[in-house]
Each structure stands twice: as structure tokens, then as C-alpha cells.
Amino acid sequence: MNFTTKVPIEKYKNPIDYNSRIMSLGSCFAENMAEKFEYFKFQNSVNPFGIIFNPVSIEKLVNRMVNKIEFTEEDIFYHNDLWHCYEVHSELSNANKEDFLNNLNSILSENFKIISNATHFIITYGT
């Protein structure tokens, strides 16, 4: 009796190696994989805007990074004494609006270079 299902997987033509530049985005699983990549000294960038669970927010952030679309006051809101943005993790929220926008746009510009040079993308969603 066979209790497993074999799934044939073709070998990827461009495997991850030490020359790879990896961008990991998404859930805490992306963070866990990134820890392993860092431990083994791979070039890896992970969740610059914090852990993001849903595909729509990930798509919006990738679009912003690729097209250099800066965050504006229209993208943020004030709640419980902090400025927030629905597109990023609340760990980035800030009491000062200007600091918050400057930080978001700084992360955006830093990661434009990373995403432009990435050879591999790992995107994980929440369950």
C-alpha cells in the first residue's frame, strides 16, 4: 500500500545559488526562510515594509517599488495617536506624520535598487 503521492517536479533552470540576489516578501514564512538564507550567507532582502499577509497589499507594494510611486498623505491615516498605512505593517507606524512618510519613501527608494537587481523573488501569503 502506498501512502504518498509522488509529484514530479521539473528542475528549475535558474536555481538559487550564492550569486543569487533574493527578495522575499509576504508572511512570517518569508521571514523564516530569510533567516536561513542569512545564516548561510545568501544575498537576501526580506519584507522591507514588514510582514504582509494578503496578495493585494504585496502587489501594491511591488508596484510602488518598481514604478517609484511615493507614499503621500492620501495613503496614510491617523488612529490611536499614530499614523498608519494599510499597505504596510503596523510596526512602521509613527506618531509624526512627516517622519512616517519620509521613512516609507526612504524604504521605497532603497528597495527600488534591490528589486531592480533581484534574480529571485519569493512571495508567501498568509493562510
Domain boundaries of the chain, sorted by first residue: 21-124
Does 12 have pLDDT greater than 90? no
pLDDT above 70 covers a percentage of the chain that reads: 100
What pLDDT does 126 receive?
81
The whole-model pTM stands at 0.84
What pLDDT does 100 receive?
98
Burial 105-114 (b: 16+ CB within 10 A, else e): bebbeebeeb
**Average pLDDT value for residue range 86-111:** 97
Q: Give residues with Cβ within 8 angstroms of 71, minimum separation 6.
A: 64, 85, 101, 104, 105, 108
**Average pLDDT value for residue range 17-45:** 96
Does 79 have pLDDT greater than 80? yes
Does 36 have pLDDT greater than 90? yes
CA distance 8 to 10: 7
Q: How far is CA 112 from the centre of its chain?
A: 12
Amino acid symbol at 37 = F
Query: Mean pLDDT, the chain, as a whole number?
Result: 95
Does 127 have pLDDT greater than 80? no
